[in-house]
């Protein structure tokens, strides 16, 4: 099957160099049983490539099973993959097959493989190496002929360095790496994909496709599409449903692009025009313009924040209240609202004054050590997160619910992060 026929069959649109390279690699390895790791940002269409790998293989006569490792609870992922015996755990009222038994002779697509817990990674490595596994609660070895196709939007190399992903499993999964480029790296594909989605939605909603003028199409091309094809699809659907005019301009479509304001100052999302020159001097000038624009907008934002805090402190003093509260985390004082609301509603929480730190504050700050110190080298993000979690857990005497609430995260997220910390400490021990 040639490249064009494959694209038409699986709905993969694009003629850019990155897409051609990815499609050619699919054609090379689809007929084998080799393990493939698909890398790409969220929303680039990794599952389409997994489907193409399966449908072009000798296993195409059986359905490919798909499992999202990030959506599966940690305690159930092993049971889902390998099955379980009756009574193996609370709620296991019967014996059941897992994905590897059901997919015998077919393929399994493991999406978001970077979210798989370390314990399950050990079992997955064994079945990849030997084809053998056992159900949860059983010691009987079973065999299954399964091809594994995995996908991730993370850099698994960095996950290995952080101790969140097994190095041996990474090398076993990445026998063949397939990189799906983001939309911002293949701008020539944006308009054909957008037109494809518009045509599909006009048929779905029995309406006519609005005509995009040159300024609108130019904006679509310049936009960075942080949500990739998923975001492009949503914008196409909105234009079909919400924009009924015959001609759609740049100003009509701009509100539907996340991060692009009505004034067109979406920093980092809409690129600066390429200009007429193509030499190094013009490129440097454009970079300088972009850096200057970012600095100006940052200065404006900081100035506005200072003014809001000054107004807040003044309003608090005018109330005549003698009570002074300490704000240990000034970032919680302000809450950014939607741009459509008035700036009068910018301050969301009750006013506070900034008081000098008490003895308890100093003791609490000493717990965090270099995390809040302005002297010396800054800690890494991983170290700062670990220190903050352990300090909060110590403060609430191990109460995970109160710890999670104080950190503004869910208990499940806190549990997962604690497991990551524990795994990292074991790996470095």
- Please write the tens of the pLDDT for every residue from 64-90: 999 999 888 877 888 889 988 887 777
Residue 2 burial class via C-beta count within 10 angstroms: exposed 0-12, middle 13-18, buried 19 and up: exposed
Residue 226 burial class via C-beta count within 10 angstroms: exposed 0-12, middle 13-18, buried 19 and up: middle
Q: What is the pLDDT of residues 4-28, one digit of tens each?
A: 899 999 999 999 999 999 999 999 9
Question: What letter does residue 340 receive in the DSSP assignment?
Answer: T
Task: Output the pLDDT for position 51.
Answer: 96
Contact between 186 and 179 (Cβ < 8 Å): no
pLDDT band at 283 (very low <50, low <70, confident <90, very high): low
pLDDT band at 378 (very low <50, low <70, confident <90, very high): low
Bridge partners of 248, per DSSP, are 212
Q: Which residue from 158, 153, 101, 148 is spatially nearest to 125, judged by alpha carbons?
A: 148
Q: What is the secondary structure of 244-306 as a DSSP string?
A: -SSEE-HHHHGGGSTT--TTS--TTTBPPP--S--SHHHHHHHHHHHHHHHHHHHHHHHHHHH
Q: How many residues does the chain have?
A: 429
Q: What CA–CA distance (Å, rounded) separates 190 from 187? A: 5
DSSP, collapsed to helix, strand or coil, labels residue 279 as: coil
Q: What CA–CA distance (Å, rounded) separates 257 from 231? A: 9
What tokens does 361 get? 């504050």
Q: What is the pLDDT of residues 327-341, one digit of tens each?
A: 444 444 433 334 444
Tokens 């006519």, residue located: 208
Q: What is the secondary structure of 74-92 as a DSSP string?
A: TTTHHHHHH-B-TTSSTT-
Does the pTM of the predicted model rise above 0.75? no
Q: What CA–CA distance (Å, rounded) separates 404 from 411? A: 5
Strand 36-39 to 176-179 pairing: parallel
Task: Output the pLDDT for position 293.
Answer: 61
What is the average pLDDT score of the chain? 79
Q: What CA–CA distance (Å, rounded) separates 287 from 15? A: 28
Q: How many CB atoms lie within 10 A of CB 201?
A: 18
Q: What CA–CA distance (Å, rounded) separates 259 from 170? A: 35
Q: What CA–CA distance (Å, rounded) separates 117 from 213? A: 49
User: Which percentage of the chain shows pLDDT scores above 70?
Assistant: 74
């Amino acid at each position: 099957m040639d490249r064009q026929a494959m694209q038409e069959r699986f709905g993969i649109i694009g003629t850019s160099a990155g897409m051609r390279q990815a499609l050619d690699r699919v054609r090379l390895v689809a007929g084998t049983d080799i393990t493939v790791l698909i890398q790409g940002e969220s929303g680039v269409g990794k599952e389409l490539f997994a489907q193409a790998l399966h449908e072009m293989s000798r296993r195409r006569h059986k359905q490919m099973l798909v499992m999202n490792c990030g959506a599966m609870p940690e305690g159930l992922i092993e049971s889902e993959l390998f099955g379980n015996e009756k009574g193996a755990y609370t709620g296991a009222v019967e014996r059941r097959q897992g994905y590897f038994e059901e997919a015998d002779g077919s393929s399994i697509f493991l999406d978001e493989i970077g979210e798989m817990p370390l314990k399950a990674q050990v079992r997955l490595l064994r079945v990849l190496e030997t084809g053998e596994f056992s159900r949860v609660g059983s010691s009987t070895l079973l065999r299954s002929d399964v091809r594994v196709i995995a996908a991730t939007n993370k850099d698994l190399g960095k996950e290995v360095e952080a101790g969140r992903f097994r190095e041996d499993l990474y090398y076993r999964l990445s026998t063949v790496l397939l990189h799906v480029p983001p939309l911002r790296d293949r701008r020539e594909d944006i308009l054909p994909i957008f037109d494809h989605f518009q045509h599909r939605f006009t048929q779905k909603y029995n309406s006519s496709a609005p005509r995009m003028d040159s300024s609108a199409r130019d904006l679509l091309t310049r936009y960075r599409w942080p949500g990739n094809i998923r975001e492009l699809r949503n914008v196409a659907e909105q234009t079909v449903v919400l924009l009924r005019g015959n001609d759609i301009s740049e100003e009509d479509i701009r509100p539907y692009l996340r991060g692009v304001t009505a004034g067109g100052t979406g920093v980092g999302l809409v690129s600066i025009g390429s200009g007429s020159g193509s030499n190094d001097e013009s490129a440097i000038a454009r970079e300088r313009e972009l850096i200057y624009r970012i600095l100006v907008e940052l200065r404006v934002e900081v100035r506005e924040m200072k003014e809001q805090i000054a107004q807040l402190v003044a309003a608090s003093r005018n109330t005549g209240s003698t009570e002074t509260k300490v704000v240990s985390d000034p970032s919680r004082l302000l809450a950014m609202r939607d741009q459509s609301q008035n700036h009068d509603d910018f301050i969301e929480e009750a006013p506070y004054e900034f008081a000098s730190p008490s003895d308890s504050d100093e003791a609490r700050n000493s717990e965090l050590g270099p995390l809040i110190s302005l002297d010396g080298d800054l800690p890494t993000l991983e170290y700062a997160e670990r220190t903050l979690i352990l300090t909060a857990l110590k403060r609430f005497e191990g109460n995970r619910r109160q710890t999670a609430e104080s950190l503004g995260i869910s208990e499940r997220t806190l549990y997962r992060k604690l497991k990551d910390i524990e795994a990292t400490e074991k790996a470095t021990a």
